[in-house]
């Protein structure tokens, strides 16, 4: 603990956290804290929550508890209860995530503001990263534009077969069991290998209007070409994904159906279905105001601020 490099890291981490809080406080946001441990989660296909004491069976009086992958569920309940602009700096947990840009425990900055649509959410996110990293203004690029630029086909109309053929022609190692792969798997493979490494090379780049099949908790609308798209956006800088945002879905029945589909897909993949976020669904049914919400990985932000090559280098001992 006497290592001066470690102390310098702590000082820089503290400075950047202070800048984050100052940015939100000056814009009238209320800092909140929500539980790290809860019996409910928001089921996701590609995120595995950490169960506490997973070997103990759930009972009616002692349900299985989960360390939260995001404070989203609780923060949206605060919006339904009347909050209008809230943010949180919190630890988050995801099982099995380890790599240059992933850790099973990490720091997340998450915020919501009622009345914001996707455009307002992207503008706020761009202002935040420009303030924190002293960058040029963020460039806005549609998912379709980014895909056509690097892959040469429209991601919203291409079939699974066309996507597979394009991956093969580009020399990409294809999915092992291609007969079981769906469109989204091919889209994600092409994004990961061909598109993401090119994003944000000259400055922050916000990619928006993801495929409707990847809406997660975002609303769905039609783009300028009349194609259904998710009002979802992600921020990239130097090829690193920094933030994921939504013009938030407010329809409880639609969310329940989406989450049921996620659990069905999890079971088909041999994984356990996850408990439904009944308190969130009840709050949405009573009235969740329109809003935009964003989650930003603070460790990745600090990594880029310091020019480090992995979050392990900045995440502490």
Write the pLDDT tens digit of every residue in 224-253.
Answer: 889 999 999 999 999 999 999 999 999 999
| Stated pTM of the model | 0.93
pLDDT confidence of residue 179: 55
pLDDT confidence of residue 176: 65
Closest CA to 169 of 152, 149, 147: 152
pLDDT confidence of residue 2: 56
pLDDT confidence of residue 96: 80
Residues of the chain with pLDDT below 50 are 1
pLDDT confidence of residue 222: 94
Biggest CA–CA distance in the chain, Å, is 60
Closest CA to 260 of 247, 69, 268: 268
- Domains of the chain by range and CATH? 4-54+63-138+203-313 (3.30.930.10)
How big is the chain by its Cα radius of gyration, in Å?
20
């Amino acid at each position: 603990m006497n290592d001066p490099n470690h102390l310098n890291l702590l000082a820089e981490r503290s400075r950047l956290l202070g800048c984050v809080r100052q940015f939100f406080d000056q814009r009238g946001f209320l800092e909140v804290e929500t539980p790290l441990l809860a019996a409910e989660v928001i089921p996701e296909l590609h995120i595995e929550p950490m169960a506490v004491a997973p070997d103990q069976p759930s009972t009616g009086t002692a349900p299985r508890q989960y360390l939260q992958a995001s404070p989203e569920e609780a923060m949206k309940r605060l919006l339904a209860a009347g909050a209008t602009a809230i943010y949180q700096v919190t630890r988050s947990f995801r099982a099995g995530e380890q790599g240059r840009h992933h850790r099973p425990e990490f720091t997340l900055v998450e915020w919501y503001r009622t009345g914001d649509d996707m455009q307002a959410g992207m503008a706020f996110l761009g202002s935040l990263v420009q303030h924190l990293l002293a960058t040029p203004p963020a460039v806005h690029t549609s998912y379709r534009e980014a895909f056509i630029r690097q892959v040469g086909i429209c991601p919203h109309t291409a079939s699974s077969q066309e996507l597979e053929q394009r991956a093969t022609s580009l020399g990409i190692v294809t999915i092992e069991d291609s007969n079981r792969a769906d469109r989204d798997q091919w889209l994600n493979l092409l994004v990961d290998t061909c598109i993401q490494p090119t994003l944000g090379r000259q400055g922050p780049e916000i990619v928006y209007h993801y495929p409707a099949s990847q809406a997660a908790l975002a609303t769905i609308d039609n783009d300028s070409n009349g194609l259904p798209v998710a009002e979802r956006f992600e921020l990239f800088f130097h090829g690193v994904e920094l933030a994921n945002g939504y013009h938030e879905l407010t329809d409880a029945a639609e969310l329940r159906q989406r989450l049921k589909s996620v659990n069905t897909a999890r079971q088909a993949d041999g994984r356990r279905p996850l408990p439904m976020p009944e308190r969130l669904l009840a709050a949405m049914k009573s009235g969740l105001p329109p809003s935009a919400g964003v989650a930003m990985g603070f460790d990745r932000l600090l990594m880029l601020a310091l020019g480090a090559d992995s979050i392990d280098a900045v995440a502490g001992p």
